[in-house]
Copies of this chain bind each other. A is one copy, B any other.
Amino acid sequence: MNKAVLTSQRSDFAKWYQEVLAKAELVEHGPVRGTMVIRPYGYRLWELMTAELDTRIRNVGAENVYLPLLIPESFIHKEAQHVEGFDPQVLVATHAGGMPLAERLVIRPTSETLFGEVMARWIHSHRDLPMLLNQWANVVRWELRPRLLLRTTEFLWQEGHTAHADGEEAARFALRVLVDVYRDFLVNVLAVPVRVGRKTAAERFPGAINTLTCEAMMRDGKALQMATSHELGQNFGRAFDISYTGRDGTRHVAWTTSWGSSTRMLGGLIMVHGDDNGLRVPPRVAPIQVVVLVVHEDPAATLRAQQIVTDLRAGGIRASVDAQFHKSFGRRVVDWRLKGVPIHIELGSRELANGTAVVIRRDNTVKQTMDQSQLLGAVHKLLADIQQTMLEHAQSALASATVETSSLDTAIDAAQVGFARVSLALVTGADPSLLAAQAVTVRCIERADGTVPMTEDEPDLFAILARAY
């Protein structure tokens, strides 16, 4: 029996998480409190994620831009709720080249204010609308209780910013991004099922009139907000004078939205799919989809393994050889499991002699021996099957972790270890301290059929309760 390589999830989930990040060589702490270093394996995973997200963002019509890191402090103060929300977290630069600056500069915590400024300049007529922009960037929010990937002083993200001629179109667009960009990416690429819904007024983005969210359930029973999409109404339109000449020849204030997702999603991926042997990476974003391990030091086997990898790569598979003979075979198997590579292929002397290979799935440890000539076709099928199986597995875990109840007390109890779904009326009618005392929050509000309500005032709405990261 192998000695455990990780603290078990059940005994200490937070410790398990830290250990996976370190041992799978994903991310680690930077020298400044709350910052992180994303290592090659973690960064490649992020690149594969962002490529998929970027395609979806383009598909809804948005174009990428780059706006400055540095924001004049006065900008942040132009929208009243926005400044209140971000002031406690902003990092401020005061000196350059040893001299005090004329105006203090905020290191961007988010870019609504800069997008407001450029949109005001770029938008003239109704023909310029909708204006659909997106930015991939780093942002800084000073964190008192940082946690790698989940809450860091600096993180990487995309932030979409759009302007529309009217509020209904803006609302439709914010919802479209939630569903067609974020949910589609989370479910079909990361294999992470989510609940989608509205935030309560208290949980909205600073300056928004509505915030929509995708909420996922981690293996420890806590929820993680994976992505949000905000209707900003005319708040930023007014504050930055984003206006246009309508078909009627008069000036109108534009309606704006913003929407974002970050390296936090990578944390969610780990906490949804990881197990006591390490990470499990969905094939669609796996930096290495197949690793071919040469069991013993043997030039013929190594050559054969390289040929197999060459063939797999020619077939569009991200494959690597492991011939690190200075490490024991057992250690290597453990390390690839830690990294969550979806398929291991083992090539020992018996397989070399027989022209076979042993193929092992990371997700369910199923092992099969097959002819080397069958590998490419089998790997394609297996990767598709692993992707689907991981999603189904996560969907069933989400279902088991969700309790539907008509009692608020039961809901608050259940929300300690998962999602509780309860009538919104029960929650709004109750003393808020009931939830707060148990560290439970309303993660989102949804309709009876699970879709996203247009307002909080629709009848028959449900609240989804949980503890959250």
Contacts and interface: CB of A to CB of B under 8 A. Distances in A.
- Interface SS of A by simple majority: mixed
A154 interface: yes
A67 interface: yes
Interface string A68-95: 1111100100000000000111111111
A44 interface: yes
A98 B83 CA distance: 12
A31 B92 contact: no
Given A96-B90, A107-B107, A40 B69 contact: no
Copies in the complex: 2
A349 B96 CA distance: 60
Contact of A40 (B30, B38, B64, B90): B64
A270 B96 CA distance: 30
B90 A64 contact: no
A107 to B, nearest CB: 6
A417 interface: no
Nearest to A64: B43
A36 B65 CA distance: 11
A282 to B, nearest CB: 20
A97 interface: yes
Contact of A95 (B36, B69, B92, B140): B92
Interface string A30-52: 11100111111001101100000
B92 A87 contact: no
A153 interface: yes
Given A32-B68, A38-B67, 17 more contacts: A35-B68, A35-B70, A36-B68, A38-B65, A39-B65, A44-B64, A46-B66, A69-B107, A89-B96, A90-B96, A90-B97, A91-B96, A92-B95, A107-B107, A127-B326, A137-B138, A138-B138
For the complex of A and B, list the 5 residue pairs with the smallest distance between their C-beta atoms, beginning with the closest. Answer: A35-B68, A40-B63, A96-B142, A30-B68, A38-B66
